[in-house]
Amino acid sequence: MIVIENLDHICLGTANLNKAIEFYKEILDCEVIEQTDKFALLELDRIILKLNYIPDYKFPIKNPAAFTISFNLDVDDFTNAVIELEEKKIPIIHGPIPVEGGETLLIKDPDGHWIELKYKE
């Protein structure tokens, strides 16, 4: 058996590195910890996202059940997130809907990656 200590990072492709960085900084409050013209490492809590520049990249997955990055919020932050998404004109693709003792919603980043924001009471 392979013994894994932790998750190192999650890689996402992007056709526009600067636009993706701006989205993750402004919408999800990620901090840029390293950036080149080919990639950026962003940190959110203990999660590292690596955005890799790929010319003409298009996220191929149409169904969020196949691949979604899911973030937990508390109930007040969830309510504020809905308001902020509306103010910043970020389309909510699905939700908010009740699930598992809380609510969830789906958005997409500029390259079409599915992002779930949810809370549980």
DSSP string, 39-106: EEEEEETTEEEEEEE-TT-------TTTS-EEEE--HHHHHHHHHHHHHTT----EEEEEETTEEEEE
Q: Say what the pTM is.
A: 0.91
Q: At 70, phi and psi to the nearest 5?
A: -115, 130
117 near 80, Cβ under 8 Å?
A: no
pLDDT score, position 100 = 85
The amino acid occupying position 43 is E
29 near 22, Cβ under 8 Å?
A: no
With a cut of 50, list the residues of the chain below it in pLDDT. none
